[in-house]
Structure 1
Amino acid sequence: MEPVYRGLGRCVCCFWLAVAFDIVGLVVLLIGVFVNVFFYDLLIYAGAIVIFLSLIWWVFWYSGNIEVPPAELEDDVGLLKKDKGGLSAIGGAVRRLSSRVSSGIRNSFRRNGAPSGHRGRAQRSAAGPPGAPQEGQVVVAMATMAPQENTPHAAVSSVAGCDIETLHAETSPRPV
């Protein structure tokens, strides 16, 4: 048998905390308004804050006293009714269909909606190994050179619409 609550209902502790916060906040606020002290503004603000915090206890007390019949809770918490066999089978089919559709949508966003800086696996494998030149890229090879006695002269050539300066050094063969 379910206990019967009268008067304050369930969550009596939250009710009395809310009342205590209201009384303390009101007393502190009124002291700040009517008593001649140099920190009256602190008392006014503190009283208002304590009264505001009492709202938390009032919400706890109110939400703790909401009564919902168990018949209405069955669908919300996943308890299926046993006596309606046909409807539960339909509900299971609808749930499976819903999960398939939502996972398909989620996966399509993962494949197609990746930011421009992140490429998917399919794009990465089609592009070749990392570091391989892609279409529209120019490969430039650089090498370090030891300083030579002769001064080099520069030649400018145009490749793909860009001017590239190459250094040609006239050197004599090195002794081995």
Structure 2
Amino acid sequence: MEAGPRGLGRCAVCFWLAVAFDSLGLVVLLLGVFVNVFFYDLLIYAGAIVIFLSLIWWVFWYSGNIEVPPAELEDDVGLLKKGGGGLRGIGGAVRRLSSRVSGSIRNSFRRNGGPASAREGPSQGSRSEASGAGQQQQVVVSMATITPQGDTSRTGAGGDTAART
């Protein structure tokens, strides 16, 4: 068995990229602070952004070096444990039972054409709605544009009100 990674770990490239981004960002930021140029604010912001982007490489380096023993990984990725007995046998039996039950439910829906509420006929539809089962129905909504119309008794031919004439 391997003793484990030494030094920088398995992701040395990400480590060196993070260090390079940090150094470049720090140099650009310090140039913006201490050098008398008219675009110093651009240098300060650019340096801060480059340092912020180095966090991506630090996260890659750290997460790439996380080690999880295979015994802990078995439960998460569904690997079957070798050797039976004790709780392992019970866990396997429960897993098989769960697979059978869910498979039979899934197959019964396929065989019968869907849930019971979708297969009801027109005579049973009103009964299911009254019992609250809720059958899907299509609702048609018509929309029309309504323009506001003025009171015709108050307007004249030229659009003037009757009070002015």
Same fold (TM over 0.5): yes
* TM-score, normalised by the number of residues in structure 2: 0.58
Q: Which moved more, 1:3-12 or 1:46-55?
A: 3-12
The whole-number CA distance in structure 2 between the counterparts of 1:99 and 1:36 is: 73
Find the counterpart in structure 1 of residue 19 from structure 2.
19
Find the counterpart in structure 1 of residue 155 from structure 2.
none
Structure with the bigger percentage of helix: 2
The whole-number CA distance in structure 1 between the counterparts of 2:137 and 2:31 is: 60
* TM-score, normalised by the number of residues in structure 1: 0.55
Q: Which ranges of 4 or more aligned residues in structure 1 deviate by more than 2 Å?
A: 1-4, 84-87, 94-104, 110-118
How many residues are paired up?
115
Is the partner of 2:21 in helix, strand or coil?
helix
Aligned partner of 2:94 among 66, 90, 97? 90
Deviation, structure 1 residue 113: 8.3
Find the counterpart in structure 1 of residue 30 from structure 2.
30
Structure with the bigger percentage of strand: 1
Larger radius of gyration: 1
Gaps of 5+ in 1: 119-176
**Is contact 1:81–1:88 with CA below 8 Å preserved after alignment?**
no
1:95–1:53: structure 2 CA closer, same or farther, 3 Å change rule? Answer: farther
Find the counterpart in structure 2 of residue 62 from structure 1.
62
Task: Provide the alpha-carbon RMSD of the alignment.
Answer: 3.1
1:83–1:116: structure 2 CA closer, same or farther, 3 Å change rule? Answer: same
1:50–1:114: structure 2 CA closer, same or farther, 3 Å change rule? Answer: farther
**Is contact 1:29–1:48 with CA below 8 Å preserved after alignment?**
yes
Residue identity over aligned pairs, in percent, reads 68
Find the counterpart in structure 2 of residue 71 from structure 1.
71
Q: Which moved more, 1:78-87 or 1:65-74?
A: 78-87
Structure number with greater CO (CA < 8 Å, separation at least 6) is: 2
Deviation, structure 1 residue 53: 0.4
